[in-house]
Amino acid sequence: MKSFEWTVLGTGIGPLLLAATGEGLVCVVFHADAGVRDQALRQLSGRLAAEPVQDATGLLAEPIRQLEAYFAGELREFSLPLDWSLSGGFNREVLRELTAAAPFGTVVGYGDLAARVGQPGAAQAVGAAMGSNPLPVVVPCHRVVETDGKLGGFGGGLETKRRLLALEGVLPEPLF
């Protein structure tokens, strides 16, 4: 049976579950305590038809290095091979466009991103695509905001979104 490698990385926004296949980084999961981790590994195993293997051959070495550099404020753009097998169609198109639309330190509106993929009336569908993002942080769905400047939703929670945007200098650091 095929396999995928996984690990949990401690970060300033809490533990992240990272998973990779031979194609590249396939999944990032927020708040990866034991319960979240185990559930995510079961789901990934089913969706990828592969067995989870912890830290085996080093597929995660470069994602770990780049994420650590990002959280240390030393990396502004990820250059990792990504396995897009958990995303398809419109969602994949929007997620691929996102990195170009909102580089480090900037934000983009849901409607603006919809227009960039040729679907100007699809802001809600863009929101759904952000919610389906299997690679948050690396594919920066935290940079997508509502047109009126409100943060909008976020799968990792609004506090996590605020902290990521503060790390990138978009929002001020919280006072406490």
What type of residue is 115? Answer: A
Check if the beta carbon of residue 51 is closer than 8 Å to that of residue 44. Answer: no
What type of residue is 107? Answer: V
Catalytic residue among 17, 19, 141, 145: 141
Q: Which long-range contacts (CB under 8 A, 24 or more apart) does 147-155 make?
A: 147/109, 147/110, 147/111, 147/112, 147/123, 152/110, 152/127, 153/127, 154/130, 155/30, 155/130, 155/131
Q: What angle do CA 45, 47, 48 make, to 5 degrees?
A: 65
Check if the beta carbon of residue 143 is closer than 8 Å to that of residue 106. Answer: yes
Residue 19 CA, distance from chain mean position: 12
Burial class, 154, CB count within 10 angstroms (exposed 0-12 / middle 13-18 / buried 19+):
buried
- Known catalytic residue at 141: yes
Pairing of strands 50-54, 144-145: unpaired
What are the catalytic residues? 141
